[in-house]
Amino acid sequence: MNVLLDLQYLNVATSGIKTYMMELAKAARRYSHPDVHWIFTHEPEKQAADNNYKFPQSKIQRLNYHLDYLRWKEFQLPDLVKKHKPDVLICPDFVSPAASLNCRRLTVFHDAFFWQMPQNYPKWWRKYFLNLIAKGLKENTEIITTTYYSKKSLIQYLGNDWPINVIYQAPKMLHDPIEPTILKNHQLEKEGYFLHIGTFDRRKNLPLLVKAYSEFLTQTGSDKKLVLAGGAGQSKQMDDFPIVQKLVEDLQLENQVILPGYVSDGAIKALYSQAFAYVFPSQNEGFGIPIVESMGFGVPVIHSDQEALLEVANGAGMPFQTGSLEDLTKKMILLSQENDLRAQLIEKGKKRAEDFSAKKFIEAFHQVILNPGK
């Protein structure tokens, strides 16, 4: 069974989809199957390092990227299908070619955000992208998604026309050596800070976390800090970074809230290794990779009771009512006061993290590849 994996989108992917694509490619190479032969459209590390279109600074750059993406999906990728004659084409970025292809298609839909949260996207871009998605839902297509919550959401918007398989993804393997410099530079001590890693997208609800942290300090007198690592949201409509910055200033928390921006894998390892707890207040997620990463590092997790996060944590995290400042503050205080509770969450988390390995990730793909329509 020949499988062609489309990795073109790695040249712009910066967050969850990048992790998904890279870990899928790595797992395919690491855990071979006698009946599955993988063909990559691009060398993953090289494509991910291509910065020609990352963080476009002008409308012309963005337009050039969209034209390049359209040219790839509608002309170059179909040509590769003709050349390699795969049995299966996997597109891990929502979009499959509009052209008819002589192979099965497995298209990965990471979430239903484009339908659920239209306000987060420019109107013209959302319309254009949804049109690309729709045109790629053609003959012999199966959808892969990340959680049963995402599957339920996609059925709501797409109906039951396409088989939808749930495959839990694997977290990013952080192979770089730990970089403790970030801890030293920001005077971060062991178990001395709450942590969040990710973009400042509006749905992440990071202003709520800053407010809850402020209340936590007021009510406990704690000297714990808050680290919010990551870059701006993906568009002006989605970006809460300026709001968080102003909130930090208004609450006079400049010395307590650390905003280091994007950090390296080595710095991420250092931050996880010393964190008191990870706080994930997101309003909507398709999966929630940081939950698995945190648990794997032995860091207890406080997360919103959003459905995907509840599914991924599976009782190993501490949920709070999504959007509730009072409940989030309460849970942060509780974790800081109950050592036994924290120890229990750490042990449960380590066990839960074992369910999300690269081996299980690729084995689930092999099952779908070798058993069409099941």
Per-residue pLDDT tens over the stretch 242-281 = 999 999 999 999 999 999 998 999 999 999 999 999 999 9
Give the CATH number, domain containing residue 309.
Answer: 3.40.50.2000
Same structural domain, 107 and 198:
no
The number of folded domains in the chain is: 2
CA-CA distance, 191 to 294, in Å (whole number)? 13
155 & 185 share domain: no
Same-domain check for residues 83 and 194: no
- Within the chain, residue ranges assigned H as helices are 16-30, 44-48, 59-71, 77-84, 113-116, 123-136, 148-158, 181-185, 206-220, 241-250, 265-274, 289-296, 307-313, 325-337, 339-353, 358-370
Considering the domain architecture, whether residues 151 and 192 belong to the same structural domain is answered as: no
- Is 10 among the domain residues? yes
Is residue 108 domain-resident? yes
Residue 128 lies in a domain: yes
Task: Note whether 117 and 151 are same-domain residues.
Answer: yes
Strand partners, 5: 40, 90
45-49, 149-153, 359-363: range with lowest mean pLDDT: 45-49
Q: Does residue 175 belong to any structural domain of this protein?
A: no
Q: Check whether residue 200 and residue 104 sit in a common domain.
A: no
pLDDT at 174: 82
Question: Which residue's structure tokens are 């036994």?
Answer: 340
pLDDT at 236 over 90: no
Q: What is the pLDDT of residue 233?
A: 66
Mean pLDDT of 180-185: 95
What mean pLDDT comes out for the span 63-70? 88
**Quick one: pLDDT at residue 122?**
83
**∠171-299-256 over CA atoms, to 5°?**
110
The answer on 365 and 331 residing in a single domain is no
The reply to whether 307 falls in a domain is yes
Q: Does this model's pTM top 0.75?
A: yes
Full domain range(s) for residue 60: 2-170+357-370
* 82/188 same-domain check: no
The reply to whether 120 falls in a domain is: yes
- Provide the pLDDT for residue 58: 75
Nearest to residue 9, comparing CAs of 66, 80, 78, 89?
Answer: 66
Q: Is the pLDDT score of 113 beyond 70?
A: yes
Q: Domain check: are 21 and 69 in the same one?
A: yes
One domain for residues 311 and 233: yes
Is the pLDDT at 5 greater than 80? The verdict is yes
Which residues are 320's β-sheet partners? 304
Residues 327 and 363 in one domain: no
Same domain, 166 and 223: no
